[in-house]
Amino acid sequence: MQSDQELILQFQKSIQREETFTQLVKKHQAKVYHQIKRMVNDHDDADDIAQMVWIKIWNKLDGFKMESEFSTWLFRIAYNETLNFIAKQKRQGSNTSSTDILNYENTPSHTDAPKSSEIQIKLDQGIKQLPEKQQFVFMLRYFEELNYEKIASITGTTVGGAKANYHQAIKKLEEFLKKS
Amino acid sequence: MEQKKINTTLEEDQLMVERLFSKEALANYDKSASNVPASYFEKFPETLQQRIANNKPKVFFLTPLGKMAIAAVFLVIVSSTFIFLNNSVSKKSIMVSISMQDISNDEIEAYVDANEWMADIDWQSETFKSDTEIEQFYKDSID
């Protein structure tokens, strides 16, 4: 499989642009989609945002200078698009996605024990009450297992700022659990 | 103290969350968020290419005949606008000259008689204005 850098160079030299771009999409689409879905909880919204992200990548890939990793740039665009989408939804007054509780029925490890589902619901509610930036940082650190340097580049903050965001998120989750 | 707390490894960071919620709950959360319709990722690149193609601005390449046709239409619009504007100006001037000719001397005299008092007021205000200007001139020269 070709590296991101090789694919981007091919794209920029206009060598089979569509095919090259499709290869890039196939390599990264799942990670980008999952990160967006964790934030908006709705497949149609996540799909729409993901498409917008990739259209922006298509339009700007010619000017990409490879000063950062492609995946960092991709996640940064995904971060901006997702936050813009959530802000737009809030302005329109339809905050359905942030209050939706995730559907656990299709998950194989789901058990019928009430205690387990209660924890599940609390976790979902706890994450949803976090500010969007803290939510994003939390997901990138816990689920994507990214280092703080990369998280800082994606969210446009300092490494210290990214660390503070993650730890504030944990603190808020802890407080939420105590209250509920 | 705060600095020590923030310099944590990935494992330590993950453990902090798993102490609050179970590891299983967190894994379930991620699996639920990752649920996608069947063959979504297989179809996604194709859907995306179609959307990109639809978003591309359309470029029209004109044949020489097409270019000449557009130029002709442009010329017709410009010339017809010019002719229309010229006609409307000449019509206006004719209307003014006709209307002045149509007024009889009697009518003009009647109008002047009726509005004589207004002319007096205008005259008085003009003379008053000139007097004050002269007074001001004298004052300035004395100062």
pLDDT digits over B18-30, tens only? 988 888 889 888 8
Q: What is the mean pLDDT of residues A77-94?
A: 91
Q: Are residues B48 and B82 in the same domain?
A: no
Of the pLDDT bands very low, low, confident and very high (cuts 50, 70, 90), residue A45 is very high
Q: What is the mean pLDDT of residues A29-38?
A: 94
Residue among B27, B32, B52 whose CB faces A58 most closely: B52
The whole-number pLDDT of residue B111 equals: 81
pLDDT digits (tens, 9 = 90+) for A113-142: 445 678 888 888 999 999 999 999 999 999
The answer to whether residue B124 is domain-embedded is: no
Q: Is the pTM of this model over 0.80?
A: no
Please answer yes or no on whether A43 and B35 come within 8 Å at the CB atom. yes
pLDDT at B2 over 60: no
Domains, chain A, ordered by start: 1-100 (1.10.1740.10), 102-180 (1.10.10.10)
The answer to whether residue B114 is domain-embedded is: no
Round to whole Å and give the CA distance between A32 and A34.
Answer: 6
- Closest residue in A to B55 (Cα) is A55
The residue with greater pLDDT, A170 or B57, is: A170
Q: Please check whether residue B10 touches A, CB under 8 A.
A: yes
The answer to whether residue B143 is domain-embedded is: no
**Chain B stretch 83-112, residues whose beta carbon is closer than 8 A to a beta carbon of chain A:** none
pLDDT at B39 over 80: yes
The residue with greater pLDDT, A26 or A96, is: A26
pLDDT at B92 over 90: no
pLDDT at A86 over 60: yes
Domain assignment of residue B40, given as a range: 2-55
The whole-number pLDDT of residue A30 equals: 95
The whole-number pLDDT of residue A112 equals: 42
Q: What is the mean pLDDT of residues A59-75?
A: 94
The answer to whether residue B125 is domain-embedded is: no
Lowest average pLDDT, out of A47-61, B12-26, B107-121, goes to B107-121
Please state the domain count of chain B.
Answer: 2
Q: How far is A66 from chain B (nearest CA, A)?
A: 23
Identity of the amino acid at A141: R
Rounded to the nearest 5°, which phi and psi values hold at A9? -60, -40
Q: Are residues B9 and B51 in the same domain?
A: yes
Q: Are residues B42 and B77 in the same domain?
A: no
Q: Are residues B35 and B77 in the same domain?
A: no
Round to whole Å and give the CA distance between A72 and A161.
Answer: 17
The answer to whether residue B123 is domain-embedded is: no
SS (H, E, C) A4-34: HHHHHHHHHCCCCHHHHHHHHHHHHHHHHHH
With beta carbons under 8 A apart, name residues in chain A contacting B10. 141, 145, 147
pLDDT at B35 over 90: no
With beta carbons under 8 A apart, name residues in chain A contacting B5. 167
The overall average pLDDT reported for chain B is 77
The overall average pLDDT reported for chain A is 87
The percent of residues above 70 in pLDDT, for chain B, comes to 64
pLDDT at B64 over 80: no
The answer to whether residue B32 is domain-embedded is: yes
The residue with greater pLDDT, B97 or A155, is: A155
With beta carbons under 8 A apart, name residues in chain A contacting B37. 43
DSSP H or E stretch at residue A67? none
Q: Please check whether residue B17 touches A, CB under 8 A.
A: yes
pLDDT digits (tens, 9 = 90+) for A132-170: 999 999 999 999 999 999 999 999 999 999 999 999 999
Round to whole Å and give the CA distance between B6 and A88.
Answer: 33
Please answer yes or no on whether B21 and A127 come within 8 Å at the CB atom. no
Of the pLDDT bands very low, low, confident and very high (cuts 50, 70, 90), residue A109 is very low
Residue among A21, A30, A107 whose CB faces B32 most closely: A107
The whole-number pLDDT of residue A98 equals: 46
Q: Are residues B75 and B47 in the same domain?
A: no
The answer to whether residue B135 is domain-embedded is: no
* DSSP symbol at B92: H
Q: How far is CA A62 from the centre of its chain?
A: 24
The answer to whether residue B140 is domain-embedded is: no
